[in-house]
Structure 1
Amino acid sequence: MEGKATRFWDMKRRGEPIAMLTAYDAPTARAQAAAGVDILLVGDSVGTNMLGYASEREVTLADMAHHVAAVRRGAPESYIIGDLPFATYETPAEAVANARTLLNAGADMVKFEGDRPAIVAALADADIAVCGHLGLEPQHHAEKRLKSKQAGEAHQLVEAALGLEKAGVSMLVLELIPEEVAQAVTQRLKVPTIGIGAGRATDGQVLVICDVLGFTKAAFRHNKRYAEVGESMEAAARAYVADVHARAFPAAANAFFMSREELPAFLTEVS
């Protein structure tokens, strides 16, 4: 792991947990940077959470580059990971070319799903920092459920993680797997692991900012809602609508007026 990412290697070595959150726009990125979030993840979850898509599979490379650039403008000094969207890393050459698009937009590292060591190796050989993603793979698994519950599947995931590290990943996201499996992976890898629904033993945690803020009514077991912004947004919109319909907004305090010197001349001209 080279460059700014060495910080996270050091955090793992010292036993300091890494805090990652998704970010999709400049204001959110600015707030997260001010709050001290260690890594901003521009995830393909932007599709279902912000763009109204039915699936992560609908997210395009152009979508990802657009949102990576917005997050970079909001958080110029933050470490940013950008997701390679579905079907944009089928070959090593394709993965490298598309990863460079995200780097040019402002990402420091790219992430993709699955046990694909050849793709990792190609990106690493091109001096592109890579974050792997095992367990639940939202782009490829239609059913969003716990993975690696069986001993055989769990062993395969551990072996896949070791293979990705050998190929050159700098970080690994583990999603919706038993805590014991995540712990086994974390203990065996030198690179940091980041969990989402993977228990307490990973080197860091990541959550989707829309889940954290309560934008939706969904209550995921792996999530903790730290605010109810969705309810606050609706309440604010309802209050605004009521004020406009009642002509209570805008009030005089919200209006601008001509000077006493200019007003008579204006009224004379329009009378």
Structure 2
Amino acid sequence: MRTTVRDVLSKAGEEPITMLTAYDAVTAEIVDERGVDVILVGDSVGNTAHGHETTLPVTVDQMADHTTAVARGAEDALVVADMPFLSYGHDDKESIENAGRMLKEAGAHAVKLESGPHTVELTEKLSHLGIPVMAHLGLTPQSVNQQGYALQGTSEEAADRMLELAAAHEDAGAFSLVLERVPAPLAARITDALEIPTIGIGAGPDCDGQVLVVDDAVGLSDWTPSFVEEFGNVREAMGDAIESYTEAVESGEFPGAEHSEGVEELDELY
């Protein structure tokens, strides 16, 4: 049964929420089959699949394409499309059109905005139009040129400001909040203050849910942040398989007779 925004809301304080990224139909199918609640089509695809150093170059068209693929592969999970850099926040008409495209054309069920004072009113407008919004505070990778990748909310003033913004986005209609690279005590404080669920990434154990980049979680990345746990070693498994393939071709073991088609049926023809 399809996970809905209401299902995610109902889990706050009751049941842990699981979320992973995916960028293609095959990965989405695997993630979905394992019972993950939410699939985030993250703009981290710029790093994981397109070879960029940051998420900034990712376009709306690219996000729509990846979201469409994920939506085809996921039958049960809630699919959330990340809105890429400069696709929202500077012009309401364009912001609404870009976000609406993710639902109308790409098949997402909600969008995620890297949030700040500039997204409170937009969150309210999108929510009123039927576009569910997942907010995102703390380390926001699209602001890399301003904040880098450092731990956020490390002063009393910054912590209070984050709490105020979290409450403002809840009031504006956001159905959940991602907290990225935030001190665990602050994440716990924000989680306690909100009725909507928080989903942490590098934000400690007290959030209502957790999210990781799937490449990091399965051990496909060549480097992972300190807050990541690798739950597999896909990179090594792929390397071993490719090495075995190369050796089999070079030695003449592959392809063998069992891999050849039409040998008996078309024998007379040749």
| AA at the equivalent of 2:67 | V
Q: Is the 8 A contact 1:91 1:119 kept in 2?
A: no
Q: Is the 8 A contact 2:35 2:77 kept in 1?
A: no
Q: 2:149 matched to 1:148?
A: no
SS in 2 for 1:195: strand
Question: How far apart, in 2, do the equivalents of 1:7 and 1:263 lie?
Answer: 60
| AA at the equivalent of 2:186 | V
Structure-1 residue corresponding to 2:135: 132
Structure-1 residue corresponding to 2:99: 99
**Gapped regions of structure 2 (runs ≥ 5):** none
Deviation, 1:25, is 0.7
Question: How far apart, in 1, do the equivalents of 2:179 and 2:127 lie?
Answer: 20
Structure-2 residue corresponding to 1:263: 267
| AA at the equivalent of 2:34 | A
Q: 2:208 matched to 1:203?
A: yes
Question: How far apart, in 2, do the equivalents of 1:83 and 1:9 lie?
Answer: 19
Question: How far apart, in 2, do the equivalents of 1:9 and 1:171 lie?
Answer: 7
Question: How far apart, in 1, do the equivalents of 2:246 and 2:51 lie?
Answer: 24
Deviation, 1:167, is 1.3
Deviation, 1:126, is 1.4
Question: How far apart, in 1, do the equivalents of 2:259 and 2:230 lie?
Answer: 35
Could you state the TM-score of these two structures normalised by the residue count of structure 2? 0.93
SS in 2 for 1:160: helix
SS in 2 for 1:139: helix
| AA at the equivalent of 1:22 | T
User: Which of 185, 190, 198 lines up with 2:195 in the alignment?
Assistant: 190
Equivalent pairs, count: 262
Could you state the TM-score of these two structures normalised by the residue count of structure 1? 0.93
Q: Deviations over 1:92-129 (max 9, x none)?
A: 22211100111121110101112121111121121210
Runs of 4+ in 1 over 6 A off after TM superposition: none
Q: Is the 8 A contact 1:59 1:86 kept in 2?
A: yes
Q: Mark the structure with the bigger radius of gyration.
A: 1
Q: Is the 8 A contact 1:92 1:123 kept in 2?
A: no
Question: How far apart, in 2, do the equivalents of 1:216 and 1:259 lie?
Answer: 45
Question: How far apart, in 2, do the equivalents of 1:95 and 1:189 lie?
Answer: 26
Structure-2 residue corresponding to 1:228: 233
User: Which of 244, 250, 254 lines up with 1:245 in the alignment?
Assistant: 250
The more displaced of 31-40 and 50-59 is 50-59
Structure-1 residue corresponding to 2:111: 110
Fraction of identical pairs, as percent: 37
| AA at the equivalent of 1:71 | V
RMSD: 1.4
Alignment of 1:74-93 (within 5 A): 74-89=73-88, 90-93=90-93
**Gapped regions of structure 1 (runs ≥ 5):** none
Structure-1 residue corresponding to 2:36: 37
Question: How far apart, in 2, do the equivalents of 1:258 and 1:237 lie?
Answer: 28
SS in 1 for 2:114: coil
Structure-2 residue corresponding to 1:169: 174
Structure-1 residue corresponding to 2:126: 123
